[in-house]
Amino acid sequence: MAFPSPLLLFVFSVFFFISSSFSSNLEGEALHALRSRLSDPKNVLQSWDPTLVNPCTWFHVTCDANNHVVRLDLGNSNISGSLGPELGALKHLQYLELYRNNIGGKIPEELGNLGSLISMDLFGNKFEGKIPKSFDKLKSLRFLRLNDNKLTGSIPRELTKLPNLKVFDVSNNDLCGTIPVDGPFASFPIESYANNKLNGPELKGLVPYDFGCTEV
């Protein structure tokens, strides 16, 4: 049985290192772009130095063995500002924890590109606008908590296609229309929808799913 030559193994190792470093740099750039959008009165992002090789040594950032960012923990950090499309570059991110801050603006559609995401906690902020339909691409997502914001529009029916969604909370927003009844939505408690302008469960064939919304 022939074994790879030392030279071939070396080439593969260098290629893997370069690929990993390149990916880490892109993720670092995405996180630095996020930092530039945020106001940080408590300096929780002080360690986010863009001159470092990768962001894995930054506080509140967790990486895997390949130096890919897999977790962002900025809950209860007293930060404000907005999110940008750059976050969509964090392809390996599994946990996005931005709860209980003062972040506003719209939730970027690009968050739908985070195909590895397991948990998205954006509750307790000032997000407005609609829930992105692009979230239907988050096939690994188990926890989606968007409660206590200023979100409007209807609950996207695309979310009923998420096979692993276990927890969904949009209470205390300004959502309208009806509540989905398909897929995982068949088992979510009514408390998940409290304090909105929702008109109860969807009655298929009788009224449109966005019944009661002033805009589609």
> Would you list the DSSP string of 74-122?
-TT---EEE--GGGGG-TT--EEE--SSEEEEEPPGGGGG-TT--EEE-
Residue 14 pLDDT: 37
Collapsing DSSP states into helix, strand and coil, what is residue 196?
A: coil
Residue 43 pLDDT: 96
The rounded percent of the chain whose pLDDT value lies above 70 is 87
Instruction: Say if strands 38-39 and 143-145 run parallel, antiparallel, or are unpaired.
Output: unpaired
Query: Cβ(80)–Cβ(103) under 8 Å?
Result: yes
H or E element that contains 23: helix 6-37
168 versus 8: the higher-pLDDT residue is 168
Residues, the chain: 216
Q: Fill in the amino acid letter for 203.
A: L
pLDDT-derived band at 214, boundaries 50, 70, 90: confident
**How far is residue 99's CA from residue 147's CA, in Å, rounded to a whole number?**
10
Span 137-154, pLDDT tens digits? 999 999 999 999 999 999
pLDDT-derived band at 164, boundaries 50, 70, 90: very high
Residue 16 DSSP symbol:
H
Whether residue 13 has pLDDT greater than 50:
no
Count of CB atoms situated within 10 Å of the CB of 193 = 24
Span 29-76, pLDDT tens digits? 999 999 999 999 999 999 999 888 789 999 999 999 999 999 999 999
**How far is residue 210's CA from residue 216's CA, in Å, rounded to a whole number?**
7
φ/ψ of 45, rounded to 5, equals: -100, 15
Whether residue 21 has pLDDT greater than 70:
no
Q: In what order do the strands lie in the sheet with 150-151?
A: 38-39, 80-82, 102-106, 126-129, 150-151
Residue in the block written with tokens 């260098």: 14
φ/ψ of 177, rounded to 5, equals: 90, -155
| Residues paired with residue 62 on neighbouring β-strands, in sequence order | 71
Domains parsed from the chain with CATH numbers: 6-201 (3.80.10.10)
Residue 8 pLDDT: 43
